[in-house]
Amino acid sequence: MNKEFYFWNSFKLFLAEAWVLFQNMCDKVFGEDVVDIDPAPMNPVTAHLKFVDGMKSFKAHFQARLERLKAHFEDSDAYDDLIATVEKVADPDECEQAYAQLAAWDVMMDLYDQGLVGLTSYPVGVIDALPRNGNPYELAEETNEMILNKYGDDIEDEEKQKFVVMVRTPWNSSVFKDNAIAEFIYYRNMARRSFINTWNDVSEQLAGIIIIDETMDDGKVKVVCHGFLNPNCEDDSDVDVVKLVVEKGDETGVLDDFKHDNY
């Protein structure tokens, strides 16, 4: 590549507002005048669009996700919901939740076609960045009621499905110094503590927890899906959904039904 060309393009990218770069991406994917991005400060999603080298793979990953979602939902009633969620990605207050929702729709899009899930029939949350030197068991203890308290109303809603999707975004630093084993220990124990929380009435209604773990791996975004099933929940109608989602991610994803745990 011509060095002068590279320099000027890099310089223009540096000067451009992050929301403008995101608007350009949306225009490329959805066409002009479809997605309307309001001017906004940089946020964890749009900031990565300004990196010239370090996050190129994230930009490619995110654009490919938008292209898949557009192709899948363009002719459906869900298209307006998709566009509205994409627009929220530019909002610093809603960006992570919007990104998590897009990730869940992307991973689970085949399940919508099969009638196994609805577009908004289950709650979606974000796994916040956690201390990198923490003990996974202690962190699980500290967050043991987080899912039940935050999503309890959704779990108890008779119109909602009985599982929760939690997304770990690529820009959140690794919880335990890129130690995938420790990360899985945290996820598993966070789920287990949610399931055995018998003093909370919501616990027995929660059929399962799905973790969509997006990490930077050798310069590329890897999507791993873990599924945890609640042995104390008598309603098994969503068990197949959790199992199918695990199969959608990288082969390192784990399905755990806690069958051999001492409850």
Last residue of some domain: 29, 64, 93? 93
Do 148 and 72 lie in a common domain? no
Reduced 3-state DSSP string for the chain:
CCHHHHHHHHHHHHHCCHHHHHHHHHHHHHCCCCCCCCCCCCCCCHHHHHCCCCCHHHHHHHHHHHHHHHHHHCCCCCHHHHHHHHHHCCCCCCHHHHHHHHHHHHHHHHHHHCCCCCCCCCCEEECCCCCCCCCHHHHHHHCCCHHHHHHHHHHHCCCCCCEEEEEECCCCCCCCCCCHHHHHHHHHHHHHHHHCCCCCCCHHHCCEEEEEEEEEECCEEEEEEEEEECCCCCCCCCHHHHHHHHHHCCCCCCEECCCCCCC
Q: Looking at the domain assignment, is residue 98 inside a domain?
A: no
Q: Classify residue 132: in a domain, yes or no.
A: yes
Q: How far is the C-alpha of 198 from the C-alpha of 230, rounded, in Å?
A: 12
Same domain, yes or no: 57 and 1: yes
pLDDT for position 58: 86
CA distance 109 to 72: 8
Instruction: Judge if 89 and 125 occupy the same domain.
Output: no
85 and 152 inside one domain: no
Q: Is residue 227 part of a domain?
A: yes
Per-residue confidence (pLDDT) for residue 52, from 0 to 100: 47
Gyration radius of the chain's alpha carbons: 19
Does 152 share its domain with 178?
yes
Residue 177 has a pLDDT of 53
For residues 118 and 196, state if they share a domain.
yes
> Do 38 and 158 fall within a single domain?
no
Are 74 and 185 in a shared domain? no
**Shared domain check, 165 and 252:** yes
For residue 161, being part of any structural domain is answered with yes
User: What is the predicted pLDDT for the residue at 146?
Assistant: 86
Residue 73 covered by a domain? yes
Structural domains in the chain (count): 2
229 and 122 share one domain: yes
Domain that holds residue 125: 103-263
- The answer to whether residue 162 sits within a structural domain is yes
* Whether residue 44 sits in one domain with residue 141: no
Question: Which positions of the chain have pLDDT values less than 70?
Answer: 1-16, 51-56, 129-133, 173-178, 198, 219, 262-263
Last residue of a domain, one of 93, 126, 142: 93
* Residue-level pLDDT at 133: 67
Q: Supply the pTM of this predicted model.
A: 0.88
pLDDT for the residue numbered 12: 44
Asked if the structure places residue 148 within a domain, the reply is: yes
Question: What is the distance of C-alpha 139 from the center of its chain?
Answer: 20
Do residues 57 and 176 share a domain?
no
The pLDDT assigned to 4 comes to 42
Those residues whose C-beta lies under 8 Å from the C-beta of residue 252, and which sit 6 or more positions away, are: 180, 224
Which of 33, 67, 93 is where one domain is finished?
93
